[in-house]
Chains A and B, each alone.
Chain A
Amino acid sequence: MVTCPSCVRTQPLALVCAGCGAPIGASVDLFAALNLPRRLTIDPEALERAYHNLSRRIHPDRFGSASVRIRDASLRATALLTRAYRTLRDPAARGRYWLELHGHKLGDDNQRVPANLAALVFETQERLAELRDERTPGNLAAARARREEVARALDAAGLELAENFARWDADGVATADGEHAARFAELKAVLSKIAYLTTLHRDIDRELETARAA
C-alpha cells in the first residue's frame, strides 16, 4: 500500500493516485505504469495515447512549486513512465521484458546459434570483409543484397514474435507448465534470432556507410 503525497489517500501501489490523479511514483511493473493490461499484443496508438496522457499529468514542470515529496513523486513517476514507454513500444524489448518479468534470462541455456542463421552471419561478414578490402561496384552490390536479405529475415522474425505474443494473450497463465516452458523457449529463440539479425544489419549499415564516405 502507498499514500498519495497530494491527497493522502492510502491505496495499492500505483504510478498516479486513483483519487486525485497526482503522481505517486510507486514501483509498479511497466504494463501497470502505462495503465495497460498485462498483454503482449499492444496497439501502438493506445500505447502512445496512454503515454502522452499520463506524461502530461505527472510532468515535473507542473509541480515546480509543490512540496519536496510531491516533486520527488513526479520525478520518480516520470522516469518509470518513460522506461515503460520505451520498453513496451519496441516488440523485441517488450518480449525481453516479458522474460524478465517471469524470472527468465535470454542468455540462460541459449548459446547455440541455429545453423542456417550462423551461415547467414558468417557469409554476410565475409562479403563485408571483401568490401573492406576492395570497394568494387560488385562488392557493394553484394553487400546491399545481403542487407535486403537480412531485412527480410528480420521482418519474418517480427511476424514470428507477434504470433508468439498472440499465443500468450490467448490463454496466458492458464496454460500447463510444460506448454509454458515450450513457449518461453520459443520466445527466447525468436528474440535471439532478432538480436543476431539486428547486429548483422547494423554491421552491414556501418560498412556501407564507410564505403560511401570513402
Chain B
Amino acid sequence: MAYSDKVIDHYNNPRNVGSFDKGDADVGTGIVGAPECGDVMKLQLRINPESRVIEDARFKTFGCGSAIASSSYVTELVKGKHIEEAMTIKNTVIVQELNLPPVKIHCSVLAEDAIKAAIGDWKKQHEDARPSAEPRKAQEG
C-alpha cells in the first residue's frame, strides 16, 4: 500500500514525540488502542486551567505509519485550541489532511478518540481537584 507524502513526512519527522511529567496537574493523558491491529497511542495535552486552552501536546504511538502520522498531526492541530473546540475535531479532518486510504481510517478514529480521552482525563482531575467554586488553597507541605 502506498502512503501519501504527508504520512511519510509525519512518520519520518514526527512532531512532538515524547511525554510530559505524569505529576503535572495541567496535563491530561489519553491512552487508546485499535484492537484489530494491536496499535496503541498515548496523547498528552497541557491545558491552561484558567483559559482552558491547549498549550502543548506530546504523543507516543506504537503502530503503523498511518497511526503515527495521525497522532503526530493532531498534536499540531490541537495546539492553541480551546478544549471545547478540540472536542469537536472529527477524524475526517485527519483523513483529508493525510490522504488516508479506507483501510487506514481507523487510525484517524483512534487519534480523534485520543484527544477526547486526554481532555476527559484532564477534566476529571480538575473536577476532582476543585469540587467547589472556591479558589484553590496552596497545598504545600
Contact = CB atoms under 8 A, between A and B. Distances in A.
Main secondary structure of the interface of A (DSSP, over half): helix
Interface string B39-61: 11010000000000000000010
A122 B106 CA distance: 21
A178 interface: no
Nearest to A193: B35
**How big is the B interface, by class?**
10 to 19
Contacts of B35: 106-107, 110-111, 188, 191-192, 195-196
A51 to B, nearest CB: 26
A4 interface: no
Contacts of B106: 107
A121 interface: yes
Interface stretch (B26-34, B79-87, B130-138): B26-34
Interface stretch (A31-39, A58-66, A197-205): A197-205
B131 to A, nearest CB: 24
Contact of B42 (A106, A112, A122, A188): A122
Interface string A107-138: 10011110100100110010000000000000
A112 B34 CA distance: 9
A106 B37 contact: no
A195 B36 contact: yes
Contact of B38 (A110, A125, A200): A200
Interface string A67-93: 000000000000000000000000000
Given A107-B34, A107-B106, A122-B60, A196 B113 contact: no
Contact of B33 (A111, A191, A198): A111
Contact of B117 (A112, A188, A196): A112
Nearest to B32: A111
B55 to A, nearest CB: 23
B33 A113 contact: yes
Contacts of A112: 31-33, 117
A203 B40 CA distance: 13
A145 to B, nearest CB: 19
Interface of B: 31-40, 42, 60, 62, 106, 109-110, 113, 117
Given A110-B35, A112-B117, A122-B40, 17 more contacts: A107-B35, A107-B36, A111-B33, A111-B109, A113-B33, A118-B31, A121-B62, A125-B60, A125-B62, A191-B35, A192-B33, A195-B36, A196-B33, A199-B37, A199-B38, A199-B62, A200-B38
